């Protein structure tokens, strides 16, 4: 049986699973580390010497034969791609593992040993002199298709569906026969549909016009831009005339393109509306804290942005803590960061109010200067603590990726979550201010401080707590911002102008105004951007606000209050 | 009362911002100026260059200094404030009497200090890739000119391995470097027969953070033919851009993005797993394997640990850092060659200097155009935030500061 010899795996130096390897792993690692240190020390000399003792360098398989691996060593990416496809089509039991290993740079070539498969999980250090397979974008795409092709044999329907949707972009005709066979034996309708598209896409390259015509008609149902591109290519010209010689096929392609575009247009509108709302929700989260500290209390808080930054850095710290102590729960660090960010910013806000701001009530210019100073102080101390570079805050897996509406029109999960989070925070702030006793005090002090004081409200403490609350909300905004952009010392500076813009436009002292202004500004910028470009859109929004404030200095909504009186 | 205390405190702050560090008391030290923003928006990139400069100076001092005299770094902070760059440069030259200045990152900061260096006839080493269109006797450019970065990268994207791009989405931050580079690229693409309708040029303001519309537009644009994005987005905006790109599922195999201002340092703030395969073009990558680079990386790691820099165990090296390192060494070689720090003589001697650089090649300073001959590498982003070199030039290329793709430059190219 040829398969038997093909599947010979020589357990060359303790393959994974061999009991000896675990016992000796510490020794192995020590040996490898010592070798690595030595090679650093002696430079190139040790590289030649180190290969002499491969037995002590790494855990891995040597693959003897049966797999068409030789092309992988070629300098020509075309040959490497061909080899990858041959591996997938070989039906060899190891094909899947080998393909995965190529992608992770675990398949290495050693002059004296041949091909070697290193153990998974990055535990194995490649022995000196090991050459990995050169992977560039084209090879990576071929690998992806090859792995998807192998996954079609999986018993899990979900995995087959994913694989089939990857294969919609396939271009290598070699798969045609095997894919057609897979399509014929497939039972799941979703997989069948996707495979049909893949087969149709490959048949476009067929020399027979009737097959091409059939393929084009099938492709009219596809939504991906890769397919659209290919259909468009058929209508293009090259040196000999139309790229597609048959007029019937061209006509069918034209019809298919029109049908595709009509379907996508509707979803484009949804995506555009969503991006407006999403930008609005970011603005809302950035500005909501300010709506309380500036809007309700009248404190021109130039350090507002830095409270956003503190919220974002709290998220970063929580992420680091989870990474170190609770790796299994890392996906949920964002949830843990929410209360912590609130507390950290609120505490700092309270300290700021107690030590600086309470002496400056009623003196807006001094407040502005001192909070600006505080903001510089916070930025620079952050630089000293965490460095001037941005820190990395990773989206947890449930916030990565996106929901596909149709074809390539997608809505990212993190933006959806932030929109929802903004609404929850808005609702929370509204409830606290309107439905609780503390909120009643805040409103009373805002509207008439003297009268509130007469009725026994501790206005001093209310001021402190309100400011702390506003800063805490800013901290929550920081958590959300950390999921979208930079987390660095300058994070706050990017949002301070936008925040004031939103609060002023919405009407100082009005939550509803802030919410509507934020969502409105977001939508307007997103509507303008495709026509004018981002730079001009920003300028037009600013001009619009200037014009609007000229006509209506009190903003969208106006309320009588401490700030309105002043 | 208040005003006076404000004035005193700001005076104290100003005098503190120029910190001189003396390394040695022996023989009269040679002072060199380091002009990089340590605060403000550019601190993210420029802080590492200051550290590299200090490290290089420490290394030179440990080996006996220059002509037996130790170097003394005078570090000033122009705070990402362009006019302040000129002020600080003047201070370094007239007051601190430095022998040379290493500094600047953005083109606008370089343009702001140029008149000072010309007026006082002094010496600046500029370590960052830039748009060209400049040639000053007082400046040595150790970063890449467009033909050492942008043009080869675009050629690669048009090649089969780069994805055989037919449509080009030029995306940049709105200031002089991206605009000039894109002007050159547009002319270059036209010379290659690319139609006007297949080139899209989009700019965003500095610090732009919402890339939803742009990423959606890139996707839409790519439906009309194989598309690539050429990004000259600078600074902080890169993180939101790449996050949006990752979440929108725009993969490198469909629409590759090549960036000219994104290196190892910038990727530290991003989760790179969704970005695998996107490209960057530089003259140096940390992942290059050669003895000079190993030594350079080790030197910087040890320095970071010894100085307890934030995240010292995770520091990375990048192209402008290498260029800073080369610049200081070339200046040292030139000074030792002419045995004086006299500006005129040093300027004459820097041209023609050779140095075995961490990029793995012996790079040399051009005698006539003051730009380095540099090799070009194109790297794909790996999951660990490093770059995998997929294309490189056979050897160092001579810089063309006056791009042949900008009309009116023909007469200047001889320089």
From B19's Cα to the closest Cα of chain A, the distance in A is: 16
Of B40, B44, B38, B113, nearest in space to B261 by CA: B44
CB atoms A413 and B202 under 8 Å: no
Which residues, numbered 142 to 171 in chain B, qualify as contacts with chain A under a Cβ-Cβ cut-off of 8 Å? 160-163
Give me the sheet containing B279-282, strands edge to edge: B199-204, B167-173, B227-232, B257-259, B279-282, B377-381, B387-392
Taking all residues of chain B, what is their mean pLDDT, rounded to a whole number?
Answer: 88
Place of tokens 């000033």: B76
Domain boundaries, chain A: 19-141, 159-245, 266-551
Rounded to whole angstroms, the Cα distance separating A392 from A167 reads: 33
Residues in chain A: 566
Provide CB contacts within 8 A for A191, sequence distance 6+. Answer: A152, A157, A160, A161, A164
Q: CA A354 to CA A345: how far, in whole Å?
A: 14
Q: A226: distance to nearest CA of chain B, Å?
A: 7
pLDDT of amino acid A4: 38
Compute φ and ψ for B210, nearest 5 degrees: -120, 100
Stretch A109-125: mean pLDDT: 74
Q: Which residue on chain B is closest to A387 by alpha carbon?
A: B310
Least confident of B15-19, B58-62, B391-395, B404-408: B15-19
Residue A18, pLDDT > 70, answer no
Phi first, then psi: what are they for B70, rounded to 5°? -75, 155
Contacts of B223 (CB under 8 A, 6+ apart): A225, A228, A229, A232, A408
Bridge pairing between strands B139-141 and B124-126? parallel
Spatial distance between the Cα atoms of A474 and A495, rounded to a whole number of angstroms? 11
Residue ranges of A 71-130 with Cβ closer than 8 A to chain B = 77
- Give me the helices (H) in B142-175, please: 150-158
Beta strands B71-76 and A241-242: pairing type? unpaired
What is the rounded average pLDDT of the residues A21-39? 48
Per-residue pLDDT, averaged over A390-403, amounts to 85
Phi, psi of A113 (to 5 degrees): -120, -20
Contact: B254, A488; criterion CB under 8 Å = no
Whether the CB of A436 is below 8 Å from some CB of chain B: the reply is no
pLDDT confidence of residue B22? 41
Give dist(CA A180, CA A167) in Å, integer.
12
| B46, B247, B273, B386: best to mutate for the A interface, most A CBs within 10 A | B247
Contacts of B292 in chain A (CB under 8 A): none
Owner of token pair 């000219």 = B260
Task: Indicate yes or no: CB of A282 within 8 angstroms of CB of B210.
Answer: yes
| B14/chain A closest Cα distance in angstroms | 15
Chain centroid offset of residue B178 CA: 14
pLDDT band at A57 (very low <50, low <70, confident <90, very high): very low
Name the band, by pLDDT with cuts 50, 70 and 90, for residue B14.
very low
pLDDT at A287 over 50: yes
Closest C-alpha to B275, from B376, B387, B378: B387
pLDDT value, residue A60? 61
Check residues B336 and A448 and name the one with the higher pLDDT: B336
In DSSP notation, A157-168 reads: HHHHHHHHHHHT
* pLDDT value at residue B28: 87
Confidence of residue A121 (pLDDT cuts 50, 70, 90): low
CATH class held by domain A266-551: mainly alpha
pLDDT at A545 over 60: yes
Contact pairs from chain A to chain B, CB under 8 Å: 176
Distances (CA, A) of B280 to A380, B129, B260, B343: 31, 13, 6, 36
pLDDT at residue A5, rounded to an integer: 38
> Nearest CA of chain A to the CA of B9: how many Å?
12
Say yes or no to pLDDT of A14 above 60.
no
pLDDT band at A100 (very low <50, low <70, confident <90, very high): confident
Contact residues, chain B, for A400 at CB < 8 Å: 246-247, 271, 274
Question: In the prediction, which pLDDT does B1 show?
Answer: 43
Q: Do A486 and B269 touch (CB under 8 A)?
A: yes
> Over the stretch A496-540, which tens digit does the pLDDT of each residue have?
988 998 998 888 777 888 999 999 999 998 888 888 888 888 889
Q: Do A534 and B254 touch (CB under 8 A)?
A: no
Q: Does A533 touch chain B (CB under 8 A)?
A: yes
Give the pLDDT score at B222.
86
- DSSP state, residue A409: E
Dump the DSSP string for B331-400: HHHHHHHHTS--HHHHHHHHTT-EEE-TTSSEEEE-TTT-BEEB--EEEEEPTTS-EEEEEE-SS-B---
What is the distance between the alpha carbons of residues A501 and A286, in angstroms, rounded to a whole number?
A: 11
Whether A233 and A225 have beta carbons less than 8 Å apart is answered as: no
Q: Quote the DSSP letter at residue A155.
A: S
pLDDT at position A51, please? 38
Kindly indicate whether the ipTM for this predicted assembly is greater than 0.85, answering yes or no: no
* pLDDT band at A262; cut points 50, 70, 90: confident
Angle between helices A95-103 and A77-90 (to 10 degrees): 150
Tell me if residue B230 falls in helix, strand or coil: strand
A95/A68 Cα distance (integer angstroms): 10
Beta strand ranges found along A29-168 (DSSP E): 60-63, 107-110, 114-118, 131-132
Contacts of B210 in chain A (CB under 8 A): 275, 279, 282, 525
Q: Which of B324, B311, B269 is nearest to B126 (CA)?
A: B324
pLDDT at A50 > cutoff 80: no
- How far apart (Å, rounded) are the C-alpha atoms in residues A135 and B161? 11
Q: Which of B1, B24, B32 is nearest to B332 (CA)?
A: B32
In whole angstroms, what is the distance from residue A441 CA to residue A455 CA? 10
State whether B310 and A386 contact (CB < 8 Å).
Answer: yes
Write out the two tokens for B382: 């790996």
CB A488 within 8 A of CB A390: yes
Count other Cβ atoms within 10 Å, centred on residue B68: 9
Q: List, as ranges, residues 469-498 from A with C-beta within 8 Å of B.
A: 484-490, 493-494
pLDDT band at A258 (very low <50, low <70, confident <90, very high): confident
CA distance B87 to chain A (A): 22
Mean pLDDT, residues A205-223 taken together: 82
- Lowest-pLDDT choice from A261-270, A353-362, A371-380, B376-385: A261-270
With an 8 Å Cβ cutoff, is B213 touching chain A?
yes
Return the bridge partners of B173, or none: B204
Mutate to test the interface with A, among B50, B203, B212 (most CBs of A within 10 A): B212
In this prediction, residue B414 has a pLDDT band, given cuts at 50, 70 and 90, of low
Length of chain B: 415
pLDDT in tens, A139-149: 888 998 999 99
- Find the closest chain B residue to A280 by CA distance: B210
Once rounded to an integer, what is the mean pLDDT over residues B290-301?
94
- The C-alpha atoms of residue A459 and residue A449 are separated, in whole angstroms, by 7
Q: Which of residues 233-262 of A touch B (CB under 8 A)?
A: 233
pLDDT at position A349: 95
A171 or B83: whose pLDDT is higher? B83
Q: What is the pLDDT of residue B248?
A: 84
Chain B residues inside the 8 Å CB shell of A529? 213-214
Average pLDDT, chain A: 81
Nearest Cβ partner of A388 from B47, B205, B276? B47
What would the mean pLDDT of A375-390 be, rounded to a whole number?
A: 87
Cβ contact A272–B38 (<8 Å): no
Q: Record the pTM.
A: 0.79
Query: Is A311 an 8 Å CB contact of chain B?
Result: no
């Amino acid at each position: 049986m040829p398969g038997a010899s093909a599947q010979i795996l020589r357990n060359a130096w303790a393959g994974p699973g061999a009991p000896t390897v675990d016992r000796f792993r510490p020794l192995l690692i020590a040996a490898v580390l010592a070798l690595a240190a030595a090679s650093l020390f002696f430079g190139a000399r040790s590289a030649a010497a180190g290969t002499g003792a491969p037995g002590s360098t790494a855990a891995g398989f040597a693959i003897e034969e049966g797999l068409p691996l030789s092309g992988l060593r070629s300098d020509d990416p075309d040959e490497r791609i061909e080899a990858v496809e041959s591996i997938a089509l070989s039906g060899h039991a190891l094909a899947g593992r080998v393909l995965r290993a190529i992608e992770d740079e675990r398949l290495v070539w050693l002059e004296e040993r041949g091909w070697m498969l290193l153990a998974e999980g990055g535990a194995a250090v490649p022995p000196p002199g090991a050459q990995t397979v050169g992977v560039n974008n084209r090879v990576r795409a071929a690998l992806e298709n090859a792995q998807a092709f192998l996954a079609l044999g999986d018993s899990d329907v979900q995995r087959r569906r994913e694989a089939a949707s990857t294969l919609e972009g396939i271009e290598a005709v070699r798969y045609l026969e095997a894919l057609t066979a897979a399509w014929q034996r497939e039972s799941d309708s979703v997989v069948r549909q996707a495979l049909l598209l893949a087969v149709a896409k490959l048949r476009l390259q067929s020399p027979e016009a009737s097959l091409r015509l059939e393929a084009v008609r099938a492709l009219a149902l596809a939504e991906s831009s890769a397919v659209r591109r290919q259909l468009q290519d058929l209508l293009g010209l090259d040196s000999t005339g139309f790229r597609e010689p048959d007029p019937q096929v061209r006509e069918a392609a034209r019809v298919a393109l029109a049908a595709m575009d009509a379907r996508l247009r509707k979803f484009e509108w949804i995506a555009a509306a969503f991006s407006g709302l999403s930008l609005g929700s970011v603005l809302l989260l950035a500005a909501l804290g300010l709506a309380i500290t500036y809007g309700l209390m009248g404190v021109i808080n130039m350090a507002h942005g830095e409270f956003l930054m503190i919220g974002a850095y709290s998220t970063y710290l929580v992420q680091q803590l989870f990474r170190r102590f609770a790796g299994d729960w890392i996906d949920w660090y964002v949830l843990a960061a929410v209360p912590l960010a609130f507390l950290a910013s609120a505490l700092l806000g309270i300290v700021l109010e107690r030590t600086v701001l309470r002496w400056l009530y009623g003196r807006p210019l001094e407040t502005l200067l001192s909070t600006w100073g505080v903001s510089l102080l916070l930025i620079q101390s952050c630089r000293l603590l965490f460095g001037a570079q941005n820190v990395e805050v990773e989206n947890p897996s449930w916030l990565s990726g996106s929901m596909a509406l149709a074809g390539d029109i997608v809505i990212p999960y993190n933006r959806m979550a932030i929109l929802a989070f903004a609404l929850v925070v808005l609702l929370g702030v509204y409830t606290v201010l309107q439905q609780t006793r503390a909120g009643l005090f805040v409103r009373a002090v805002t509207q008439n401080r003297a009268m509130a004081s007469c009725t026994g409200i501790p206005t001093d403490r209310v001021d402190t707590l309100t400011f702390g609350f506003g800063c805490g909300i800013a901290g929550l905004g920081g958590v959300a911002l950390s999921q979208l952009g930079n987390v660095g010392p300058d994070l706050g500076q990017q949002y301070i102008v936008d925040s004031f813009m939103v609060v002023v436009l919405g009407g100082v002292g009005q939550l509803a105004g802030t919410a509507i202004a934020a969502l409105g500004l977001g939508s307007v910028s997103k509507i303008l951007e495709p026509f004018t470009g981002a730079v001009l859109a920003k300028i037009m929004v600013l001009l619009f606000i200037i014009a609007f404030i000229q006509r209506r200095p009190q903003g969208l909504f106006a309320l009588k209050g401490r700030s309105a009186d002043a | 009362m208040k005003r006076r205390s404000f004035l005193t405190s700001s005076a104290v702050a100003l005098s503190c911002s120029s910190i001189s560090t003396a390394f040695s008391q022996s023989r009269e030290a040679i002072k060199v100026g380091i002009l990089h923003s340590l605060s403000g928006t550019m601190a993210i990139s420029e802080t590492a260059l200051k550290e590299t400069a200090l490290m290089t100076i420490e290394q030179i001092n440990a080996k006996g200094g220059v002509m037996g005299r130790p170097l003394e770094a005078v570090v000033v902070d122009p705070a990402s404030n362009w006019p302040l760059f000129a002020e600080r440069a003047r201070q370094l030259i007239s007051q601190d009497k430095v022998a040379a200045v290493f500094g600047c990152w953005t083109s606008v900061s370089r343009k702001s200090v140029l008149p000072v260096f010309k007026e006082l006839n002094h010496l600046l080493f500029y370590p960052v890739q830039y748009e060209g269109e400049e040639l000053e006797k007082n400046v040595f450019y150790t970063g890449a000119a467009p033909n050492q970065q942008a043009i080869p990268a675009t050629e690669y994207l048009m090649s089969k391995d780069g994805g055989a791009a037919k449509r080009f989405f030029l995306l940049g931050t709105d200031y002089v470097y991206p605009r000039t580079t894109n002007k050159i690229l547009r002319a270059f693409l036209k010379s290659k027969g690319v139609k006007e309708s297949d080139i899209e040029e989009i700019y965003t303001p500095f610090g732009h953070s919402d890339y939803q519309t742009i990423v959606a537009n890139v996707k839409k644009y790519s439906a009309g033919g194989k598309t690539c994005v050429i990004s000259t987005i600078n600074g902080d905006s890169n993180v939101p851009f790449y996050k949006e790109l990752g979440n929108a599922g725009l993969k490198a195999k469909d629409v590759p993005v090549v960036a000219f201002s994104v290196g190892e340092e910038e990727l530290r703030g991003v989760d790179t797993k969704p970005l695998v395969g996107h490209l960057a073009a530089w003259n140096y990558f940390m992942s290059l394997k050669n003895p000079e680079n190993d030594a350079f990386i080790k030197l910087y790691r040890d320095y970071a640990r010894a100085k307890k820099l934030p995240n010292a165990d995770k520091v990375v090296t990048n192209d402008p850092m290498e260029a800073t390192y080369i610049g200081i060494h070339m200046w040292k070689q030139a000074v030792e060659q002419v045995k004086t720090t006299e500006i005129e003589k040093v300027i004459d001697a820097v041209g023609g200097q050779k140095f075995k650089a961490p990029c793995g090649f012996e790079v040399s300073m051009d005698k006539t155009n003051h730009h380095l001959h540099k090799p070009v590498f194109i790297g794909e982003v790996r999951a660990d935030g490093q770059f995998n070199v997929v294309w490189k030039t056979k050897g160092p290329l001579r810089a063309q500061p006056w791009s042949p793709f900008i009309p009116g430059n023909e007469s200047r190219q001889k320089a």
